[in-house]
C-alpha cells in the first residue's frame, strides 16, 4: 500500500469511529456490513456515513496535513459518493471483510484525486 493511501486509510478509520451516532440503527464495521445494508438503497445512515468519511478526508488540512486527501468536483452529490463506495465494494468482494473506513477512504481517493499544482 502506498504511503498516501496508508495515511488516507488511517485517517478514515479514525474518523469512521466518530461518524456514527448512538441512535444509529446500524453500525458499519466492515465493507460487508455496509454493502449488505446499503446496496440498492440510499438509506440516511448509509449516506451519513459516506458524508462523514468524505468530509473528514477533505478536512485533512485542519488536522495538520498540507493538502486535502480527496477533491470531488463542485457538483458531486452525496449519492454519487455513496455509489462510488458501493461500486468499489462490488468490484472487490475479496476485500469487503476489511474495516469500512479505509475501504471507503481509498474508494473516494481513487475516484476524486487531488490534482498536483502546476509549477
Taken in order 41, 79, 9, 17, the sign of the CA dihedral is negative
Domains assigned to the chain: 3-19+29-111 (1.10.890)
User: Per-residue pLDDT for the chain (119 aa), expressed as one digit of tens each?
Assistant: 455 554 555 555 544 444 444 445 557 789 999 999 999 888 898 999 999 999 988 887 777 766 778 899 999 999 999 999 999 999 999 999 999 999 999 999 999 998 875 55
Whole-prediction pTM: 0.74
Terminal C-alpha separation, the chain:
28
Amino acid at each position: 500500500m502506498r504511503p498516501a493511501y496508508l495515511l488516507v486509510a488511517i485517517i478514515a478509520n479514525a474518523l469512521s469511529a466518530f461518524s456514527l451516532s448512538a441512535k444509529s440503527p446500524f453500525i458499519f464495521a466492515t465493507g460487508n456490513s455496509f454493502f449488505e445494508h446499503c446496496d440498492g438503497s440510499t438509506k440516511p445512515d448509509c449516506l451519513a456515513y459516506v458524508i462523514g468519511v468524505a468530509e473528514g478526508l477533505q478536512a485533512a488540512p485542519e488536522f495538520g496535513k498540507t493538502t486535502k486527501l480527496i477533491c470531488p468536483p463542485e457538483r458531486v452529490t452525496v449519492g454519487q459518493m455513496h455509489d462510488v463506495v458501493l461500486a468499489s465494494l462490488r468490484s472487490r468482494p475479496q476485500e469487503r471483510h476489511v474495516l469500512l473506513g479505509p475501504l471507503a477512504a481509498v474508494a473516494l481517493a481513487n475516484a476524486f484525486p487531488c490534482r498536483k499544482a502546476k509549477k
